[in-house]
Each structure stands twice: as C-alpha cells, then as structure tokens.
A and B are shown apart, each in its own frame.
Chain A
Amino acid sequence: MNILRKKSTAHLPFSETVIELFIRLCGISSILFVFGIFFFVFREGAGFLFGGLDVGQFLTNVEWQPTSLNNKRYGALALIVGTFSVTLLAMCIAVPFGLGAAIFVSEFCSPKLRETFKIIIELLAAIPSVVWGFIGLTVMNQLIITVFNAPIGLTMLNGSILLALMSVPIIVSIAEDALKAVPDSYREAAEALGATRWQVVYRVLLPAAKNGLLAAVLLGAARSIGETMAVLMATGHSVNMPSSPLSWIRTLTATIAAELGEVARGGEHYQVLFIIGILLFTITFVVNLIADLAIKGIRQES
C-alpha cells in the first residue's frame, strides 16, 4: 500500500479539482500576459524595425520629425536622453529621501508612529499619476518660475520632483523590508560593543542590507522610467537635448502616449512608436532583472 505517495485526483471532491485548476490557470495567466504583451508590441514594430528603420540613426539622432511631409526623421536620442535624465535627477532626489525615511521608520521611530507613517506613505503611492501631473502643471510650475526666475516651470526639474515623489513610496517600503530582514542579533551585537544607534545603521545595517537597498532604488527607478502622464504634463513635452534641470524635455513614454492616437495604423510612424515600446520594455526588463538578482542576493546571505 502506498497511500501517501499516491496522488490521484480521482478521490478528490469535484470542487477541489475545479479550484486547483482555476488557481493553476491564474498562475499561468500572468506569464501568458507578459509574453502576450511582448509578442504584440514586438509584432507591431517588427516590420519596420527589421526593414526600413535605420537603427543606428534611431538611437543616435536627435531629430524626431515623424510627421514632416518631406523630411521624415526618426531620431529618438533626445527622447532617450530625456527619459534617462529626468529619471536620474528624480533618483538624486528620491534616493536620499527614500532611504532616509526607510531608516527612520525601521530603526528610529516608535511603533505607533511607524504605523501612521506607513499608512501615509502608502497613501502617497495611491495618488493617480494624472493628479501628480496636475500638481506639476499648476503648483510646481508656479513654484519653479518664482524660485528660479525661469520663463516657464514645465521643465525636467518639475518632472523629476514629481517622479521622485511617486517613487519614494516604493523605495521606502522595499528598503524598510530589507532593513527589517537584517537579524536583530547584529544590532544587539553592535550595541553591546558600544556602537551608537547611528553607528549601528551605517556600520552594520547598511552593509548588511545593501542588496535590498539596491533593489529598492532600482525598482524606484523602473517606476520612474515607465511613468507617462505626470512627465507628459510637467516636463514641457518638447523634443530637446536637455542642458540643465531647467530645460524642457520629452520622454519615450510621453511620446507614445501623445502620438499613438493620431497615427495611421500600420504606417511607419505607428511602427516606430511600437519600437519605442520595445525599447522601454527592454530597459525596464533589464532594470527589474538586476533588482531581482539583487533581492536574490539577500536571500542567499540570510
């Protein structure tokens, strides 16, 4: 008799079988969706990507003139630089604030304050991006004009501040998890050797949690790269190689959002927008992959 090892579904009630099947489908579906989306985006852009588009020019030219009648240009460099520069500046703002807040929440504040903090931070994550864009158009715009005496406030800086505020909740919650995952015995050991709480943080916790903190930053960055509406509204939406934080820019995502509705389906312009989609997909995929590997690094260590 081999009761334990026998795994026949025949004896299970019908409902069990159905539920198991359903859950299995749910699990598989997410994989199917990801591949489905990738397949669809790739199919729409593939024709032009492999036949016609000068990929070198696409990646290195700054001229984006897809609607010009006699001088069509598909140079996405300004858009790529726009995306990366606004993200980089956003991270310069969000990383110190996000990691600082995570360290405070996990190590320094009282349990009661911690709960309040977490709720508020989650609230920050729940604000729709169009609302952020709206704040960028009105409040931040005016603020930047006043503070920097700039002609217009719809700039890279404006978009970066919004993106920073949007990625801070992600950075805080993942970084806090990473710090919480550091065994308490390390803190105790360091304190018993006479380390102050701040010394415990920067001599023990930060090195021990560095992979998780890196993952937090990367996922925050991935969020920034993919964000569309807020940057579309707040950065001026003008194809331009930025020279300072007060330059106006345009990002890859905003370009797709703004132009896709007005192109002829299947045309070159339509396809090139999908190629931008493929590019975005690749960038976020790489960033997420690195973040995942970093998180795996933590698990192996602890």
Chain B
Amino acid sequence: MSIELDDVENIAHLARLDLTGKEKEEAASSISNILNLIDQMQSVNTDDVTPLAHAFDAVQRLREDKVTETNQRDELQKIAPETDQGLFLVPRVIE
C-alpha cells in the first residue's frame, strides 16, 4: 500500500503538523515503505482471534472517588509558556 501527497497533507492536518513540500514528499515515500512492512500482517487469517489491547488482558483498577492531591496550580504553571492570573494563555479563539 502506498500513500500520496494529499493523504500526507490530510494526516498531517489531523495530527496538527505543518510540513514543508520536501518533508511531505519524504513522508509519502517513507510512510509508504512502512505501510508495506505493516501489510505483512494481512498474510495471516485472524478472523477468530480476539484483539489483545493489554499484554495481560488487565482491566482498569478502580478506586474510591476521594481527593488525594493537593492544589499545585502555581507550581505547575511555572513551566507554562504563558499564563495570567492562574490561567493558561493561548492566541485569541473568539473574535
């Protein structure tokens, strides 16, 4: 299976990546090679196989809904690119 430049543009947009023309060409070629590798999976019939999402088929551990963490907002926001009065700042979203 191979993918074309417009597939790459679509995937890049979904992943919020911005690629240059040269990067797109490189991606189309290398991702096509990877898909060829991946397509080897189709050589085996798996119709009756249950998918395995976790090596030990473990399920999510539950706990009591109890507050265990303290408020560390100031500490956590120290490493943010831009904050104001305890809020994370981003470019204007609503005009």
A-B complex is real = no
Using a CB–CB cutoff of 8 Å, the interface residues on chain A facing chain B are: none
